[in-house]
């Protein structure tokens, strides 16, 4: 009788262990494959910098919404493309996959990884120096998306900003050609 109970317990433990092993293998496969941009298309990109020197502030967003790529950005630019305040502003302009080809090539070369968890700040500490930089690439839908980032060198930051600036000029020209 005791050997039947021990066999039943062993079988029960095996059945309980199988889902755990499957979940662990799926998680391991997901984390190994998430740096491969060829396996899944990115759905949003955010690049921004806040700085005490306003001329060094910029904000770029590209995201997929309703099966359409949308682009918005704000940065300080030269007089030929900027408004009265020397700001280049653009919101919710559609871009095509062809427009994003140069950006996709750049992203393919980056070693993307999960961002480090944010450290909680003490509630009474104020950050007077507002110099911050963030670069995130999102994958998946809004409900179940995850983000990846890469540590960009100064040259990579400049190259990425130039790519996004060229995209801005193309989209802005398109907006001026097709007023709403």
* Per-residue pLDDT, 57: 87
pLDDT at residue 32, rounded to an integer? 41
Q: Considering the chain, what is the average pLDDT of its residues?
A: 77
Residue 149 has what pLDDT? Answer: 93
Q: Give the length of the chain.
A: 180
29-58 pLDDT per residue, tens: 444 444 444 456 889 999 998 877 777 888
Q: What is the pLDDT of residue 135?
A: 94
- CA–CA separation, 30 and 44 (whole Å): 19
Residue numbers in the chain where pLDDT is lower than 70: 1-4, 13-40, 66, 121-130, 175-180
User: What local confidence, expressed as pLDDT, does residue 47 receive?
Assistant: 93
CA distance 173 to 85: 19
């Amino acid at each position: 009788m005791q050997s039947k109970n021990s066999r039943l317990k062993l079988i029960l433990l095996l059945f309980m262990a199988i889902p755990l092993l499957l979940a662990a293998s799926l998680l391991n496969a997901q984390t190994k494959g998430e740096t491969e941009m060829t396996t899944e298309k990115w759905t949003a990109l955010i690049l921004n910098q806040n700085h005490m020197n306003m001329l060094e502030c910029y904000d770029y967003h590209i995201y997929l919404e309703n099966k359409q790529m949308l682009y918005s950005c704000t940065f300080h630019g030269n007089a030929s493309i900027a408004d009265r305040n020397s700001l280049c502003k653009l919101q919710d302009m559609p871009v095509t996959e062809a427009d994003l080809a140069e950006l996709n090539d750049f992203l393919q070369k980056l070693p993307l990884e999960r961002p480090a968890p944010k450290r909680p700040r003490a509630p009474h500490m104020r950050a007077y120096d507002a110099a911050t930089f963030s670069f995130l690439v999102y994958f998946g839908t809004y409900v179940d998306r995850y983000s990846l980032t890469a540590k960009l060198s100064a040259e990579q930051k400049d190259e990425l900003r130039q790519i996004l600036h060229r995209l801005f000029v193309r989209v802005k020209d398109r907006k001026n050609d097709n007023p709403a």
